[in-house]
Amino acid sequence: MRIYQAHDYNDLSRKAANIISAQIIMKPDAVLGLATGSSPVGTYQQLIEWYRKGDLDFCEAKSVNLDEYKGLGPEDEQSYSHFMHVHFFDHINIRPENTCIPNGLETDEEKECQRYNKVIASCGGIDLQLLGIGCNGHIGFNEPGIAFDKETHCVALSENTINANARFFASRDDVPKFAYSMGIKSIMQAKKILLIAAGENKAQALYQSICGPITPSVPASILQLHNNVTIIADEAALRIILKEHVILPGGHLK
């Protein structure tokens, strides 16, 4: 794991965008694993800016998203599909047929999970997976307690996650209770992983994920076993880690 401290959210977004940008430059047909939430918004904005300047070309790139609320379709403004269009896809030249998101409107869970696993396999696996982190250490919608060997599955969202995500909905009752999520197994099969975290409310989860035991109660702790993980976080998110450790220039903790 390599950990880098960002000065602020803009710096974090630029650093993350630089890593994604390098991936696309070195492998134009790369498969990007993409994330939603407030954390990656700045990263997408920066990538859009570089695309507009002519520095980046997504015409051969492919993407697979981590998750989608069950019951919400692309037309729903709270769906992750809508989020991806508004914040990223509609502003770059990625081909719509090369972007994949779980279908929240599919009621047959088994069918949708199998379809999505096939989608991931058919693009040859993920080259670079972008991740945010939930306050309870979830990645994608892999909630605490999830088995590490899961592929795509339908998840019952935890109270903690429903409360945290309620800010995007008119009321807490409007937050879907279930979601389709890429599983930990699929995330761990990505060749590279880039996790971004900003703000004090991520400090505990980040500390437990990086410095704590590897346990399903903190889903992101499994990342300690991946051989190519980069974490970019701001000072607030690193607060507890920085009480015990110093980050060396190479990104390792002392």
Residues that bind ligand GLP (CB under 6 A): 35-39, 66-67, 132-134, 140-141, 161, 165
Which residues, listed in sequence order, are joined to residue 64 by a DSSP beta bridge? Answer: 33, 100
Which residues, listed in sequence order, are joined to residue 31 by a DSSP beta bridge? Answer: 62
Give 26 or 170: the residue with its C-beta nearer to ligand GLP. Answer: 170
From 68, 112, 127, 143, active-site residue: 143
Task: Locate all alpha helices (DSSP H) within 54-194, ordered by sequence.
Answer: 80-87, 109-122, 159-165, 184-188
Show the CA angle centred on residue 226, arms to residues 220 and 231, nearest 5°: 60
Q: How far apart (Å, rounded) are the C-alpha atoms in residues 148 and 235?
A: 29
Q: How far apart (Å, rounded) are the C-alpha atoms in residues 18 and 12?
A: 10
Give 67 or 106: the residue with its C-beta nearer to ligand GLP. Answer: 67
Distance of closest approach, residue 35 Cβ to ligand GLP, in angstroms: 5
Distance of closest approach, residue 79 Cβ to ligand GLP, in angstroms: 12
Q: Is 67 a catalytic residue?
A: yes
From 65, 136, 142, 165, active-site residue: 136
Q: Is 136 a catalytic residue?
A: yes
Give 61 or 131: the residue with its C-beta nearer to ligand GLP. Answer: 131
Q: How far apart (Å, rounded) are the C-alpha atoms in residues 236 and 135?
A: 13
Work out the end-to-end distance of the chain between its first and last CA atoms, rounded to an integer number of angstroms. Answer: 13
Distance of closest approach, residue 139 Cβ to ligand GLP, in angstroms: 7
Q: Is 226 a catalytic residue?
A: no
Distance of closest approach, residue 236 Cβ to ligand GLP, in angstroms: 12
Give 94 or 139: the residue with its C-beta nearer to ligand GLP. Answer: 139
Write out the catalytic residue numbers: 67, 136, 138, 143
